[in-house]
């Protein structure tokens, strides 16, 4: 799925625009015991409550693809004979009306999710009559491609709020409010099936994680029978380690600056094209970038070997997980320097009298703890 696909389904989660036929929930204790269940039409709730439920589901379709949103690819065998795929398909086709299927799904979630607090499993079913779009991207609501039927799942921690003083309008005074159980933003969730090129793709799904360092592998395996790509944070750490170990002495500030510039340039090319798939890079792509900035062929070959050993020869890594396109940070044990990525050329390194220095060009607008300071030029000192 690309950005436009995700945005189109996310727009469905509007109180006035959706055709959500069913919203179900299962409240589970930290020990894995079912506390309660509910099954209602979305419009059976007061509008204020319904919009709060929709806000939770919107979170499951938020974030960057490759970081918070992780694609799932099902094999032909899983689609034909996979137990998990069959269960999700039955839930979708029955519009969450098959009690046995929904309860079996709850059991799979409960066995795979381990939280320190209670949590809420939320499910909704929707049928989206996909409107026709012509070559000029104009929508014709009188015609449609198909009805895209899908289910969304959100797993939300339920946390105990703190007691507090609250204002009671009737009394015009503040009174004590007891602690209450409050539903928090989802920790994980998924969309099934995938919505690609404005159509259903039963060979795909999209999972969500709130924490870029946790891909919730157990959850994806239990409910989908499929593996999910490594967490974004792990991919970035592994890629950084591969660069450091392969380049060794050639892993200079200039090289990292230049590689980041190449990656950012590639990302800018697809940034405004919402129909483009998320940008991924191979070891050859990075190798070419290293070659452009003058890294020796020996070190590039070492990078290829370590990349293959870590990720696999044909592995594609999301560009946003390779380097940080939105920041340029230089860190030492005692100093952290953050620079606008568009102005990374302001930072350079130099060896002076045998000591290594990081130099930052500072022409104007220099502040120290919020105080504007002036840097005396050498001619002013003399």
What pLDDT was estimated at residue 18? 72
What pLDDT, on a 0 to 100 scale, did the predictor assign at position 380?
Answer: 56
374 DSSP assignment:
-
Give pLDDT, residue 141. Answer: 62
Helix segments in the chain, DSSP class H: 3-10, 47-60, 76-81, 83-93, 99-112, 217-224, 232-247, 253-271, 283-292, 297-311, 378-381
Confidence check: pLDDT of 202 > 70: yes
What is the per-residue pLDDT for 107?
Answer: 96
Given a cut of 90, whether residue 4 has pLDDT beyond it is no
Q: In 3D, which of 286, 309, 313 has the Cα closest to residue 299?
A: 286
Percent of the chain's residues with pLDDT above 90: 36
pLDDT 10s digits, 53-72: 999 999 999 988 888 999 99
288: which 2 tokens? 């070419």
- Residue 276 DSSP code: S
Average pLDDT over residues 270-281: 74
| Whole-number Å distance between alpha carbons of 331 and 303 | 23
Q: At what angle do helices 232-247 and 253-271 cross, to 10 degrees?
A: 140
In this prediction, residue 166 carries a pLDDT of 84
pLDDT tens sequence across 81-126: 999 999 999 999 999 999 999 999 999 999 999 898 999 999 999 9
pLDDT score, position 54: 94
Three-state DSSP state, 20: coil
Is residue 295 pLDDT above 80, yes or no?
yes
Name every residue whose Cβ is closer than 8 Å to that of residue 43 and which is 6 or more positions away in sequence: 50
Taking residues 23-32, what's their average pLDDT?
Answer: 94
Q: Is the pLDDT of residue 241 over 60?
A: yes
Say what the pLDDT of residue 277 is: 75
pLDDT reported for residue 184: 93
Contact by Cβ (8 Å): 267, 260: no
What span, in angstroms and rounded, lies between the C-alpha atoms of 120 and 142? 39
pLDDT band (50, 70, 90) for residue 163: confident
Q: What does the alpha-carbon distance between residue 191 and residue 339 come to, in Å, rounded to a whole number?
A: 37
Q: Comparing 8-12, 199-203, 299-303, 359-363, which segment has the lowest mean pLDDT?
A: 359-363
341-354: pLDDT as tens digits: 777 888 888 888 88
The residue-averaged pLDDT of 280-303 equals 86
Question: Which of 155, 157, 160, 156 has the alpha carbon at shortest distance from 181?
Answer: 160
The mean pLDDT of the chain is 86
CA 182/CA 30 separation, integer angstroms: 14
Q: Pseudo-torsion of CA 186, 223, 321, 243, nearest 10°?
A: 140
Judge whether residue 381 has pLDDT over 60. no
- Quick one: pLDDT at residue 9? 92
pLDDT, tens only, 164-195: 888 888 888 888 888 888 899 999 999 999 99
């Amino acid at each position: 799925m690309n950005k436009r696909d995700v945005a189109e389904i996310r727009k469905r989660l509007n109180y006035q625009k959706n055709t959500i036929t069913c919203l179900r929930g299962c409240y589970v204790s930290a020990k894995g015991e079912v506390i309660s269940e509910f099954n209602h039409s979305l419009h059976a709730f007061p509008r204020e409550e319904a919009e709060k439920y929709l806000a939770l589901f919107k979170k499951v379709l938020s974030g960057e693809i490759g970081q918070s949103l992780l694609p799932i690819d099902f094999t032909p065998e899983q689609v034909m004979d996979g137990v998990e795929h069959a269960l999700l398909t039955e839930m979708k086709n029955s519009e969450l009306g098959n009690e046995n299927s929904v309860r079996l799904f709850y059991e799979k979630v409960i066995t795979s999710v381990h939280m320190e607090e209670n949590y809420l499993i939320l499910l909704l079913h929707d049928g989206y009559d996909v409107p026709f779009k012509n070559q000029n991207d104009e929508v014709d609501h009188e015609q449609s491609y198909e009805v895209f039927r899908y289910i969304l799942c959100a797993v939300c921690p339920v946390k105990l709020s703190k007691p507090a003083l609250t204002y009671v309008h009737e009394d015009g005074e503040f009174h004590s409010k007891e602690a209450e159980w409050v539903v928090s933003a989802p920790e994980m969730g998924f969309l099934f099936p995938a919505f690609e090129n404005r159509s259903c793709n039963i060979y795909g799904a999209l999972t969500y994680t709130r924490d870029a360092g946790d891909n919730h592998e157990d959850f994806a395996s239990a409910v989908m029978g499929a593996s999910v790509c490594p967490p974004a944070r792990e991919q970035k750490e592994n890629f950084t380690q591969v660069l450091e170990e392969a380049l060794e002495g050639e892993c200079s500030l200039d090289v990292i600056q230049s590689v980041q510039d190449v990656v950012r340039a590639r990302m800018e090319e697809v940034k405004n094209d919402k129909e483009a798939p998320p940008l991924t890079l191979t070891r050859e792509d990075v190798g070419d970038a290293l070659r452009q900035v003058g890294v020796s062929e020996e070190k590039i070959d070492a990078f290829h070997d370590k990349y293959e050993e870590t990720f696999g020869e044909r592995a594609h890594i999301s560009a946003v997980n390779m380097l940080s396109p939105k920041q340029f940070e230089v860190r030492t044990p005692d100093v952290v320097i953050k620079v606008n990525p568009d102005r990374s050329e302001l930072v350079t390194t130099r060896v002076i009298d045998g000591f290594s220095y990081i130099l930052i060009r500072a022409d104007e607008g220099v502040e120290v703890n919020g105080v504007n300071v002036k840097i005396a030029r050498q001619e002013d000192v003399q």
